Amino acid sequence: MFKRALAVAVPAVLLFATGCADQSVGESPAPDAAAAKYPAKTLQIMAPAGAGGGWDTTARSMQKTLQESGLLNGQSAEVRNVTGAAGTIGLAELVTSHQKDAHQLMVTGLVMVGGVVTNKSPVDLSKTTPIATLTAESEVVVVHKDSKYTTLKQLADDIKADPTSVKWGGGSAGGTDQILVGLLAKAAGADAKAVAKQYVAYSGGGETKAALLSGDVTVAVSGTSEFADLVKAGTVRALAVSGATGADAGAGTPAPSIKESGYDLELLNWRGVVAPPGISDSERTAVLKLVDDLHNSPQWKQELADKKWQDFYKSGDEAAAFYAAESTRIKTVLTEIGLG
């Protein structure tokens, strides 16, 4: 009998991994009490994408840091994944099912801002209670080492003269990479829609690399870390990074920023955290304090260093203003390149 049960249970245990933690059982304490000692129950952090991605790692780093640095008031934190449609499915769930629940947080980012526009999502970030931005990664524009382009200006001049002369490769349609291409075309004074039509979407960095190296695309756009090893090896050349100032894209010497190349454009692939709508002011203050403490903890600094994330902290009203500004800018460019 035992062996039979064991034979079922062993694969069972190995097969099944993550829970279906959906119910947060337990009564919600009064708002004031909540502000006094927050969190008062298990803190739920939603990663609105599958395991292993950027949002998931951010959520799990937050969970780890909060628990290790003892900020949780003796409570625990759980991470749960809700996948789909650039995070807009998770966003919709947060806004509709978890209203007024200050113990439900969600990781968000630039990709969700884009996803709201391209997927015509009925809810956007303005429906949430913005808490803070946490990290950011700069984008990089690279060409093959045998390419005729050595500066971003040459590239920009070419697309201004003939928008179809350059084939771009990068991540999914309407994602950060294509947004950057659209913004770059605008900044260069080129026909943004015609340029964005030359953009070929690839699933993942490996495919984009292969396409650049085989000669399918002229220019690749991606997160800086993705191409760092190829830049280091000298196989590809970094023309520019998308942050405010130049940064090392792998070559050992800093690559210029787009701004330094003469185009007024900055784009960071940022990630942040939001709370559901309808939480009280005191609850909001409590959440803000928790995330503040998280950001100031040495454990978080260590996480940033380990994961090679750039610290990009704005909280409270500053974060709300940033979310709003990004939403406007991204919506505009996506509409202009025909993806809105």
Partner 1 sequence: MNSFMDLLAGFGTVLTPVNLLYAAIGVTIGTLVGVLPGIGPALTIALLLPVALRLDDPTGTLIMFAGIYAGAMYGGSTTSILLNTPGESSSVATSIEGYQMARRGRARAALATAAIGSFVAGTISTVLLALVATPMARLAVTFRASDYFALAVLAMVTVTAMVGASLVRGLMSLTFGLFLGLIGLDSLTGQARFTFGVPALLDGVDIVTVIVGLFAIGETLYIATRPRDLPDTVTPLEPGGKGFAWLGKADWARSWRPWLRGTALGFPFGALPSGGAEIPTFVSYTLEKRRSKHPREWGNGAIEGVAGPEAANNASFSGVLVPLLTLGIPTSATAAVMLAAFGYFDLSPGPQLFEKSPELVWGLIASLFIGNVMLLALNLPMIRVWVKVLKIPRPLLYTGILVFATLGVYAVSGNIVDVFIAFGIGVIAVFMRRFEFPIAPVILGLILGPMMETQFRRALLLSDNDLTVFVRRPLTLILLLLAVAALGLPHLPRLIARIRGREPAGRLAFGDED
Partner 2 sequence: MTSATPPDPAPIAAAETDAGAATPEVATASSGPRVAGTVLLLIGVALLWQAVDAGIDTGVPLGGPTLAPILVTGLWVVVAVAYLIDALRKRAADDGPADLRSWIRPVLLLAALIGYAVVLKYTVLGYVLATTVFVLAGARLLETRPVREVIVRDLVTAIGLALGIYLLFTRLLGIVLPAGVLPL
70 binds, among partner 2, partner 1, none (CB under 5 to 8 A by kind): none
Residues of the shown chain interacting with partner 2 in the complex, contacts defined by CB under 8 A: 1, 4-5, 8-9, 12-13, 16-23, 25, 78
Strands 43-47 and 77-81: parallel
Closer to partner 2 by CB, 4 or 252: give it: 4
Say if CB 45 and CB 107 are below 8 A apart: yes
In angstroms, the CA 70 to CA 77 distance is 11
Take residue 70 and report the two structure tokens written for it. Answer: 């003892």
Query: How near is the Cβ of 121 to partner 2 at its closest, in Å?
Result: 20
Query: How near is the Cβ of 299 to partner 1 at its closest, in Å?
Result: 18
Nearest by Cα to 170 from 215, 201, 210, 213: 201
Closer to partner 2 by CB, 17 or 161: give it: 17
- Counting contacts by CB under 8 A, is residue 3 touching partner 1? yes
25 binds, among partner 1, partner 2, none (CB under 5 to 8 A by kind): partner 2
Which residues are 106's β-sheet partners?
A: 46, 274
Say if CB 276 and CB 260 are below 8 A apart: no
Nearest by Cα to 156 from 197, 190, 198, 200: 190
Say if CB 172 and CB 112 are below 8 A apart: no
Stretch in the footprint of partner 1 (CB under 8 A) among 118-126, 251-259, 298-306, 316-324: 118-126
Closer to partner 1 by CB, 176 or 261: give it: 176
- Counting contacts by CB under 8 A, is residue 228 touching partner 1? no
52 binds, among partner 2, partner 1, none (CB under 5 to 8 A by kind): partner 1
Closer to partner 1 by CB, 85 or 251: give it: 85
Say if CB 200 and CB 216 are below 8 A apart: yes
Stretch in the footprint of partner 1 (CB under 8 A) among 95-103, 116-124, 247-255, 290-298: 116-124
Say if CB 236 and CB 230 are below 8 A apart: yes
Ranges within 183-222 binding partner 1 (CB under 8 A)? 198, 200-201, 203-207, 209-211, 213-217
Contacts of 238 (CB under 8 A, 6+ apart): 140, 141, 142, 227, 231, 249, 250, 251, 255
224 binds, among partner 2, partner 1, none (CB under 5 to 8 A by kind): none
In angstroms, the CA 223 to CA 21 distance is 32
Residues contributing to the site for partner 1 (CB under 8 A): 3-4, 7-8, 10-12, 14-20, 50-53, 80-85, 88-90, 92, 118-119, 121, 164, 167, 172-174, 198, 200-201, 203-207, 209-211, 213-217, 229, 339
